[in-house]
Chain A
Amino acid sequence: MIIVYGSILIALFSFIIGIAIIISKRTLIMILIGAEFTLNSVNLLFIAFSKLHSNAIGQIFVIFTLTVAAIEIAVGLSIAVLLYRKHKIKSIEDLKELKR
C-alpha cells in the first residue's frame, strides 16, 4: 500500500521535474530528455493505479505509451539533427517563428 501511494507521489514529483527540465533547458535534445522524463512519470502513475485497482488495462496503456515515446525520440532526434545540419540551430531560442 505504501509503495503504491509512494509511487503516485514520486510520479507527481517527477512530472513537475520533467516539466521543469523542459522549461529550463534550451537545447532541443535536452527538451526531449525532459519529455521522456515526464512521460515516464505518467507511466509510473498508470502502473501504480493498475496495481491499486488490479486492472491490467493500465499496463497495456503503458506499453502503448512506450511505443509512442520510442517513435517520438526517433522523430524528435531526427528533427533536431536536421535543424542542426541545415540551419545550425541548437537552441530553441533560434526558432523565432512564434515570436510576436
Chain B
Amino acid sequence: MIFILLFPVLSSLILILFGRYLNKKIVSLFSPISILIPFIIGIMNFDKAGDNIIYHIYRWISIGNINIEFALKWDHLSAAMVLMVTGVSFLIHVYSIGYMAEDKSYPRFFAYMNLFTFFMLVLVLSSNIIMMFVGWEGVGLCSYLLIGFWFEKESAAKAGMKAFIVNRIGDLGFLIGIFWILYVVRSADFIKINSFVSSGLMPVATATIIGLLLFAGATGKSAQIPLYVWLPDAMEGPTPVSALIHAATMVTAGVYMIVRLNGIYSLTPTASMVVAVVGVWTAFYAATIALTQTDIKKVLAYSTISQIGYMVFAAGIGAYGAAIFHLIMHAFFKALLFLGAGSVIHAMGGIQDMRKMGGLKKYMPTTFYTFLIAGLAISGVPGFAGFFSKDEILANSYFMNHRILWIIGIMTALLTALYIFRLIFMTFYGEPRMDKEVQYHIHESPKTMTIPLIILAVLSTIGGYISLPEFISKHSLWKSYMDKIIVFKKEILFTHTTEINLTLLSSFIAILGIFIAWYLYVKNTGLPDKLSNKFKFFHKLSYDKYYIDEIYEFVFINPVVYGSEGIYQWFDIAVIDGIVNGSGKFSLYSGNLLSYFQSGFLKDYIYHIITGAILILTIFVLGL
C-alpha cells in the first residue's frame, strides 16, 4: 500500500532534481506512469476496502499519551477518493503531455503535478487528522506553485500568492479545530474520533465549535463564501492545473474532510446548518456570477465554486453519500470541461475571451462533442452523471424538509444549465468572431489531449449509474457502499411518487435552462445585449463579481497594509532596531573589555587558566 504514495513522490523528486537533464519523452512517459501505478494498486486493493484496513508505517509523533501514527487508512471513502484522484490525475497528466508540449519548464510542471498527486493521496489516505493536515497543506503548496507556474507573469505570481494567503485564513480555523479535537478526544485518529463521538462523550457545543472551525478550513480550501475569492484568480495557472487541482481534486478536499468527520457534523445541527446554508448560497451566488463572465476559464471557475457549493450543501444536510457521489461525478465532468476549454484555448493560441470565439464546432469536433457531454452532465440532463448526483442531493434536501434550501438548489440548477450552455453556444456555435490569422491556425488538438477527453466523456456519461434513484432500484450500489463510513445512520423516507415528480421537475429545469441559453445565444443573438442594457445594474453587479474583491481589499487588505506601515514606523525602527543595534553595541563593548584578557601571550593564558582552576576548586570546596 505504501507504494501508492511512493511512486508519485519519487517521480516528483527525480523530476525536480534531474528533470532538466532528462529527455522530454522520458519525462512524459515517466510522470503519468508514476500516477498510473497507484491507480492500478488502488483497483487491485479495491475489494479489501470494506475491511477498514489501517497500514501502519511508523509512529510519527508521541507526546504524553497522544500518539500520532503515520498510517494509511483504506476504507470505502478513501478507496473511492484514491481511485478518483489517481484516475483523473492520470488522464490529466496524459493530457498535459500535449498541452504543455511547448513549455520550457516541462519537467518542472510534471514534478509539481506528481507532488500534488502525492499530497492529495496523503490527504485522502491519512488515518488521522494531523497527517490529513500535512496533505491539506501540501496540496495548498502545490496549488500555489502551479498557479504561479508562469511566474514571469505578474498576475500569475500574484494569484498564487492570493490563493496561498486566503487559504491561510481558513487553515488557521482548521488548525485550531484540530487542536481542539486533540484536546477533547486526546487522539487524532479518525476511528478514535468517530468512536468518541458515537459513544456520546462529546458535548454538542464542543462539536459545534469544532465543526465550525474545521469548516473555516473547508471554506478556504473548497472555495466557499467568504473565502472563495482565490479560485477565479487561480485560473492564471496552466489549464490542466485548473482541471486537476482547482476543479477535480484539491478544492473538494473540504467536502472530503466534512464527510470524513461526519460523526462530528451529525452531532451538531447548528454547524451542519451553517455548512448547508453556506454551501447552497455559494452555489447560487457563484452561478449568478458565472452567467456574465466572458473569460471561458472564469466561467468554469465560478461553475466549480457553485458545484462545490452543492457538495458542501449535501454534506451539511447530512447526505454524505450524495456529497461524495457528486464530488466524484463532478471530478469527471468538470475535469472534462476544463480540459475541453484547455483544448479550445490551445487551438486559439491562448485567447480565453469567449467574445472572440464562436463557430468552433466544425474545427474541433472531438472537443465539441466531449464538451457537450460534459455540459449535459453538469446541467443535469437525464441519463448523464450530473443528473443522478445533483438529483440525489436535491431529493435528499427535499425529503429532509430543507425546503428553502431546496428551492435555491433548484434555481441554481437552472442557472447552471443556462451558463454552461451560454458557454457552449458562444464558443462552438454561431459565426467565428476571431481574427483571420487565429482562425487559420485553429486545429483539433493532438491525440494525447483528445483521448483523455473521450475517456472522461465516457465516464461522465456512465458514471452516474452506480447510484440510481431509489424509485428505480431499491438498493443502490453507492448508498450501501457509502453507508459503511457514516457514523450516525439515519433513514429518510422517500415517497416514490414525490421523488418521480422531483426528478421530472429537475429534468425540466435543466432542459429549460438549455432552451433559454439556446434562445438567447443562438436564436436571438441580439437579445442578451438588450437584456444586459435593460438590467444594467444587475449585469454590472454580476459581471464585476459583486465587487467582493474590492470590498475585501478595502475592508481587510488596506487596514493591514496601512497598519503594518504604521507599526513599521514606530515599532520596528524604535524598538526592534534599538534592540538589534543595542545587542551589537553590547557585544562590541563587552568584547573590548574581554580582549584585555586575550593578550596573545601564552603565559597570560596559563595564568588565567590556573586562576580559574583554583577559583573553581575554591567554589567547590566552599560549596561542600
Contact = CB atoms under 8 A, between A and B. Distances in A.
- Do A and B interact directly, with beta carbons closer than 8 Å? yes
B603 A96 contact: no
A23 B595 contact: no
B598 to A, nearest CB: 6
Nearest to B598: A100
Nearest to A93: B601
B606 interface: yes
Interface string B584-607: 000000000001001111110111
A23 B598 contact: no
Contacts of A19: 606-607, 610
Which size bracket describes the interface of B in this complex?
10 to 19
A3 interface: no
Nearest to B607: A23
A29 interface: no
- Chain A binding surface SS class: helix
Contact of A23 (B599, B600, B606): B606
A99 interface: yes
A22 B598 contact: no
B606 A96 contact: no
Interface in A8-62: 19, 22-24, 31
B600 A98 contact: yes
B594 to A, nearest CB: 11
A1 to B, nearest CB: 22
A23 B610 CA distance: 11
Contacts of A98: 598, 600, 602, 605
Which size bracket describes the interface of A in this complex?
10 to 19
Interface in B570-624: 595, 598-603, 605-607, 610
A92 interface: yes
A22 B601 contact: no
Contacts of A99: 599-601
A2 interface: no
Nearest to B611: A19
A94 to B, nearest CB: 11
A98 B606 CA distance: 13
B611 to A, nearest CB: 10
A93 B604 CA distance: 12
Given A19-B610, A100-B595, A95 B603 contact: no
A24 B603 contact: yes
- Chain B binding surface SS class: helix
A21 to B, nearest CB: 11
Contacts, number: 25
Contacts of A23: 603, 606-607
Nearest to A97: B600
Nearest to A92: B602
A22 B603 CA distance: 7
Nearest to A25: B603
Contacts of B610: 19
Contacts of B602: 31, 92, 95, 98
Nearest to B610: A19
A92 to B, nearest CB: 5
A63 to B, nearest CB: 24
Contacts of B598: 98, 100
Contacts of B601: 93, 99
A92 B600 CA distance: 11
Contacts of B603: 22-24
B578 to A, nearest CB: 30
Contacts of A93: 601
Contacts of A95: 602
B613 to A, nearest CB: 10
A22 B606 contact: yes
Contacts of B607: 19, 23
Contacts of A24: 603
A31 B606 CA distance: 11
Contacts of A96: 600
Interface string A60-97: 00000000000000000000000000000000110110
Interface in B518-572: none
Contacts of A22: 603, 606
A98 B604 CA distance: 12
A29 B37 CA distance: 75
Contacts of A100: 595, 598-600
B142 to A, nearest CB: 53
A92 B602 CA distance: 7
Nearest to B604: A23
A11 to B, nearest CB: 14
Interface of B: 595, 598-603, 605-607, 610
List the 7 closest A-B pairs by CB distance, nearest first.
A99-B600, A23-B603, A98-B600, A92-B602, A19-B610, A22-B606, A100-B600
10 contacts: A19-B606, A22-B603, A23-B607, A92-B602, A93-B601, A95-B602, A96-B600, A98-B600, A99-B599, A100-B595
Given A22-B603, A98-B600, A98-B605, 19 more contacts: A19-B606, A19-B607, A19-B610, A22-B606, A23-B603, A23-B607, A24-B603, A92-B602, A93-B601, A95-B602, A96-B600, A98-B598, A98-B602, A99-B599, A99-B600, A99-B601, A100-B595, A100-B598, A100-B600
